[in-house]
Structure formats: C-alpha cells, structure tokens
Chain A
Amino acid sequence: MIPELGNFALILALCLAIIQAIFPLVGSLNRTPDWVALARPVAWGQFVFVSLSFGALTHAFLVNDFSVLYVAQHGNTELPIIYKISAVWGAHEGSLLLWVLILSGWTVAVASLTRNLPEEVVARVLSVMGMVSIGFLSFLLFTSNPFERLFPVPVQGGDLNPLLQDFGLAVHPPMLYMGYVGMSVAFSFAIAALIGGKLDSAWARWSRPWTLVAWVFLTIGITLGSWWAYYELGWGGWWFWDPVENASFMPWLAGTALIHSLAVTEKRGAFKRWTVLLALLAFSLSLLGTFLVRSGVLTSVHSFAADPARGLFILIFLLFVIGGSLFLYALRAPSISRGGGFANLSRESLLMGNNLLLLVITALVLLGTLAPLLYDAFQWGKISVGFPWFTSMFVMFTPLLILLMGAAPLTRWKQQDPAALLRSLRLALGVSIAAGIVVALPISSGSMSAGLAVALSVWLLTTLLTSLQQRLKHKSGIGGLLADIASRGGRSYYGMWVAHIGIAVFVIGVTFVTQFDIEKDARMSPGQEIQLNDYLFRFDGVADHKGPNYNAQRGTVRVFREGKEIAVLHPEKRTYLVQSKPMTEAGIDAGFMRDIYVSLGESLGNGDWAVRLYYKPFVRWIWLGGILISIGGLLAASDPRYRMRVLARLRGSRPAADNLAAEGQA
C-alpha cells in the first residue's frame, strides 16, 4: 500500500510541476498577479509530495518490502540501517528520485529566500525549475519507476553492491546531486532573465550566491568521491579519468568559469552574454553527466540499446533543454546591452583568459569522455583515451591558469597600468621562481615537475599575500582584518582568498603524490620484512574475521620507522555474504605529510600473501585543497551584500522578525 502511495505522490508532484511550469510564467507575462502568486505554494506542494514519495521508498527499504522490484534488487534484510537508507539512491531509479527530491528542495529554497526579488522574476525562475522538474518526474514515472512491484515476492533481496556499503559513498551522491541540481538554479535565473529580456548586474547579484552554493556542493561531492575511491578501491588511486568522474568534473569546470564570469557581470556589468551562455552550459553538462552515468550509455553502448525508451527520453530531453535555451538565447542576445568597456590589460581581460582556459579544458575532457562513444558509433574502432593524455592536458593548461589566477586579484578593473602591475608582482615572481628552482635542484628533489608545482603554489600564495597587504594598507592589526572580513563585499574577497589557497594546496598534493609516491607489490610470508623508503613493513600473517554482513581475512602489517613502531595496519579481504563479491579494504595510516597504505592481494598458499605497499606523500593535501576551496565558496556566498535587502525588509515590514534578522547577521 505504501509504495502505491509513493507512486501516487509522485504523480501528484508531476501535476503540480506542470502547474508550476505554466501558470506563474504566463501570469508574469500577461500580468495576472493571482497566477504569479501560485508559484511559491505550488513549489512547496511539489516538495511535500516528492518527499512523501521518497519517504515511501525509504520505508520499503527499511521494512524489507521485497515486493517492490527496486528494493528486491538492491535491498537486503542483513544490511545495516545506514546502508538500507543509502541503498535508496544506490542505483538508477532511486538516484533519480533523489535527484527530483533535491530539485524540489532547491525550488523551495529559492521560493522562500527570494522575498526581496521582484515577484515576476521569482515566478519565472520557479516556472523554469518546474519545467526541469517535469522532465525528470516524467522520466522517473514513465521509464524508471522505483515503485514497480514484483511477483512472486522473493524471500531475500539482491543486496547493495558491497563497494557502495561505505559511509563515503552513502553521502557522496547526495552531495554531488546537490551540486548538479543546484546548477539548475543558475540555469533558471538565466532563462528567466532571457524571458524577461532584462540582463543586468542585479540579475548577476541574485544568481551569484545560488551558483556559488551549488558549486560548493559539487566541489564537496567530487572531493568525497576521490577520497572514497582512494580508500575503498584498494589501489591507492584518487582520480582515474573515468567517464563517471569526468561527468562530474565537466560541470565543475563550467561552474568555475561561471562564478568568475558572474563576478564580472555583477561588478562591471560586462560579459553578460557570456555569463548567460555559461549558465546554460553548466546545467547542460550537469544533465549530460547525470544521464551519461545513469543511463549506462558510457559504460556500454549496448545497454543503451537495451532500453531504448530511456535512451530516447534522455536524448529528447537534452535536445529540448539545450536547443530550447539556445533558441531563446539567440532571440534575446541581440537586445542584451553591452556592458562596461575595459582595456586589454585589466581584471576583466585576465578573467576572460581564465574563462577561456577553463572552457578549453572542459572541451578537452568532453572530447576524451565522448570520443569512445563517437568512434564506436561511426565504427572507427573501439578505443579508450589513455590516462596520460588527460594528465598531460592538465599539465599543459593548469600553469597558465594559475599564472592568471595569481595576477588577477592584483589587477584593477577596467584598466591596469602594466608597469604598476609588474611592480606589485615583482616580489611574488622572484620568490616563486626561487622556490621552484630550490625544490627542483638535484640535492633537494631533482624533479622538474615538483619545482614547477612549488613555483606555481608559491606564486599563488605570494600574490594573494601581496593583494591582502594592499587591501589592508589603511587598516591595522587583527581588528582591521576582522572588520574587513565583516564588511560588505569582504567575504567575497576572503572567500576568493581561501579558495585560491586551496588550489595551491591541491597542486602541491597532486604533484608530490604523483612524483614521489612509492609502490611495491610483493609476496610476503608471515614474519617477513620489507623496507620501503624510511619505512619497514613487517607482515604478521592473516586471520579470519567476521563482520556484520561479510567474512574477511584480516592481515596484520606493522610499520616501523627508525626502529620505532609507528602503525599497525589491518588490510582486509572481504567477501560479502549475499553478492559473494570479494572486496579489498586497505589499511591506511593517514598523516598530514604522508600516508602509509597497505592492501591485500590474494592468498598464495602456506600463509603467504601478495601484498601491496604504498608510501604516498602529501596525498591528504589533495582533499585538503578541496575542503579549502569549498570553505572559500561558502564564505563568498555568505557575503552580507546578498542579504542586505532581505534584512532591511524583514526589519522594516515585520518588527517581530527582529530576532530572525539578528540571527542572520550573527
């Protein structure tokens, strides 16, 4: 009964989405206030029904209702509760339901946090989000219904893929989807602005915090995914240029370009058309990503053919979104006014260069991701694009990007005197080149790549410090800094500051772990010792171990440094009872400067095991960089200037809301 209610709630949500897509938009065009006023309540209604539906599916997992096909495929009575919940989004149908839930959540957030915006703008934005919602709800209902029943009812479920039975992967998809779907807000603002024909800096200011928050979620999602892959897949990699990863990385790149371009549009009124295009692109790539991953197109051309209904729906929806929005853009673009002019050397021009580079990288990742599909479609052969290619692309473009990143904060808007810029960059340039050379010298590391990475990171750091010094020239001490952070526009600046530091940390992490990691596969007998760098590994054999829903063989590896024991690691080889898939659980001793990572291969008889030993310097810096970037984004999104009018309004119109306003300020 409950699954049917869930299904019914989904149908009602679709009906509300249709109302939300049509009436507020039409009402905003022919000035019917009643229709415009529908937008918010309908958005709430949709959210309530989608939540009910999501709750119904979660309930089915919790009570092991195997009469629901999806639950029978991915649930199991033996699953720990947290994985029963995360199993809801463990496969295609449920993850789409999560998508829709998050979309309706974002819609409600927009509906309730935009009281300071003109009513007809909000109505249009919510209408466009309603259209997106129609697409996904009908995809869900007509091709991927999670509430489909199964008869006869099996006694036991097929279980969640053991790889997904992990905390990291329980939270990774929701974060990523928050990012993907959040891009729909930027998209909807752009489309609403195109419909209204009014693209100005106010539009950029409204859309900026939303875009930032979505981008932060995307950053967190990708960082979590990378961290998960590192400790869960058992071979110490943190990024594989796998199509699934690229699918999340492309919207991130486009989103990064977008938040920078939005800044220019807000501050200077320039780049308007470009910003709109980026907003359309970022969301299109999010859609492409979701669909590529979830339709199975990328994993197998044949599974695409296996379910032509899904594939066709996807293609039509993508064409509709991309084609429709580009058509609207083409209609409106000629009437978009040109923004403020700028000289060849100005912050605008540097940001334009950064945008171009980001888009080139996006295009190359797209090429590398889709090339196997295209080659197969045209029967040119079955190919894969090598890992080294992606890496060399990054090595080629990232240094340019970082050079611009360092210089831009020190460059004035509109026009910059080259000599003055050079003067303020002189010190940073000298220090970073020197640091790079010192690191690259044979006596320190002898690695050119490491030298380059250090030079680039120091460049970022020193230019940021220079810019901070210039900014605080007339303020003094910690008090001055704090006052500056709290000022209007302050958090935008410090958000940028922290995020760029995050990039510097990330570059160091990536380069050092790639250049200096040590890996050794060995056959080890109990008691045997192996020396790796400064570390001595002693293998103390393998014993049986029983987990809640798996059996494991658990190894013991003691790690010594300079005769002192520094870690006891327990890598495991697990066999999950239901799907009987073997799984490697690595034993990791995490540290700020290095990780020690041990995983079990296979048993070679007589108590001997194939063991994989790693020394991974600076690997944590990769995720630390991701965390700093996210913090920077949040800081920028929380800038008081995005809330000024909300607070003023709350104070003015409703004295009772003073508490709320105070809270918002705190």
Chain B
Amino acid sequence: MHPVRKKRLILIGLMVAGVGIAVGFALNAFNQNLMFFYSPSEVIAGDAPEDHPFRLGGLVTTGSVQRQSDGLTTQFDVTDNEKTVTIQYTGILPDLFREGQGIVAHGRLNEGGIFVADEVLAKHDENYMPPEVAASLKDAHDKATAPATGTTATP
C-alpha cells in the first residue's frame, strides 16, 4: 500500500475509533435517560416502574385541584377517562394548567401511590403538544378551538 495512503488510513482509523468509543458512551447514556410514558390505567395496573422516574399524562379531573396551606403545593388528579392517579407538585404551575386540560408530569411514585412530580407541562400550542396525550386530548382540543373559528382544521 502507498505509504501516504497508509498514513491517511491510520489517521482516519484513529478518528473513527475515538468517535466510536464516544458514541458508545452516548448511546449507553441515552438508554438510561429514556423516560417512558404511562397512562393512569397503566399506573393503576402496576405497569409503571416504582424505583425509576417516568412520565404520567392525562386530563386534570374537574374539581380535583387542591392547594395546600403553604400555597405552592398543589394536589390534583389526572385521568384517561378510565382510571385516575393523584399527582402532587410543589411550585408554580404552567399558564395553561387548568381543570379539564391535558398535562404531562415528570416524577415518580411514592409509597402511598401518589405521583410526586418535579415538573408539570401543559400544552403551549399545537407545536408544543406532548404527543402521548394527543390521542385522548385531540377531542378536547378540537372542541376548544372549533367554536373560535367555526371550522376544524382536520378534513
């Protein structure tokens, strides 16, 4: 083999090896950082992990939002219209959080079966819609926008 070519191959080989190792680490970390989504029914059925954080989403049950005396801790129920799970969150809820609205929460289950959230996300607009609740939310969403425009965007 031509010596220049050989040198070039060694250089490329080294670079590829380095990048390969880094990508290996990246993919390993990737697997550990995946957050799976569970619906309230799946949580009640015991499918959700007990020792690992996950995401829980659904519609906020009407009349379930309770504020505790410190003013910043809120407790509310989410439902997928089958089962209901209680979520507890300390902090400021997003603007679009309200009863009947679809939300996604990040957090984990405590011993009492309450989902303690460290983050609650509500829909900002169509572009920020969490895909998981889309199916159950789509109807609600269409109902919310339809009166304003007189039409629905879906054919």
**A370-402, CB < 8 A from B:** 371-372, 376, 381-386, 388-389, 392-393, 396-397
Counting chain B residues whose Cβ lies within 8 A of the other chain, the interface size class is: 35 or more
- Contact B22–A382 (Cβ < 8 Å): no
CA A154 to CA B148, docked complex, whole Å:
10
Q: Which of A100-108, A352-360, A452-460 contacts B (4 or more CB under 8 A)?
A: A352-360
Chain A, residue nearest B32 (CB): A389
A483 at the B interface (CB under 8 A): no
Q: Mark B21-35, 1 if CB is under 8 A from A, else 0.
A: 011011001100111
B110 at the A interface (CB under 8 A): no
Chain B, residue nearest A363 (CB): B23
Known: A368-B30, A521-B72. A583 touches B129 (CB 8 A): no
CB contacts (< 8 Å) of B128 on chain A: these are 242, 244, 299
CA A302 to CA B25, docked complex, whole Å:
33
Known: A299-B129, A349-B11, A376-B131. A383 touches B26 (CB 8 A): no
CB contacts (< 8 Å) of A300 on chain B: these are 129, 131, 134, 138
Known: A161-B125, A382-B132, A601-B92. A610 touches B71 (CB 8 A): yes
- Contact A582–B35 (Cβ < 8 Å): no
- Contact A158–B26 (Cβ < 8 Å): no
**A86-139, CB < 8 A from B:** none
Q: Mark A298-313, 1 if CB is under 8 A from B, else 0.
A: 1111110011000000
**A223-240, CB < 8 A from B:** 233-235
**A283-302, CB < 8 A from B:** 293, 296, 298-302
- Contact B138–A302 (Cβ < 8 Å): yes
A426 at the B interface (CB under 8 A): no
Known: A73-B149, A381-B36, A610-B72. A392 touches B29 (CB 8 A): yes
Q: Mark B1-33, 1 if CB is under 8 A from A, else 0.
A: 000100100110001000100110110011001
A69 at the B interface (CB under 8 A): yes
- Contact A372–B131 (Cβ < 8 Å): yes
A163 at the B interface (CB under 8 A): yes
B95 at the A interface (CB under 8 A): yes
Kindly provide the distance from the CB of B155 to the nearest chain A CB, expressed in whole angstroms.
Answer: 7
CB contacts (< 8 Å) of B35 on chain A: these are 383-386
CB contacts (< 8 Å) of A584 on chain B: these are 95
B91 at the A interface (CB under 8 A): yes
A658 at the B interface (CB under 8 A): no
CA A578 to CA B15, docked complex, whole Å:
57
- Contact A396–B96 (Cβ < 8 Å): no
CB contacts (< 8 Å) of A371 on chain B: these are 30, 34
Known: A161-B125, A384-B37. A303 touches B95 (CB 8 A): no
Known: A302-B138, A368-B30. A356 touches B70 (CB 8 A): no
Chain B, residue nearest A391 (CB): B33
- Contact A385–B34 (Cβ < 8 Å): yes
Known: A523-B71, A582-B96, A602-B92. A383 touches B34 (CB 8 A): yes
- Contact B11–A384 (Cβ < 8 Å): no
- Contact B22–A163 (Cβ < 8 Å): no
Chain B, residue nearest A604 (CB): B71
CB contacts (< 8 Å) of A299 on chain B: these are 126-129, 131, 134
A140 at the B interface (CB under 8 A): no
CA A341 to CA B30, docked complex, whole Å:
38
What are 15 A-to-B residue pairs whose CB atoms are below 8 Å? A69-B151, A150-B150, A150-B151, A152-B150, A158-B145, A299-B131, A303-B126, A341-B4, A356-B19, A383-B35, A385-B35, A386-B33, A393-B29, A602-B93, A604-B71
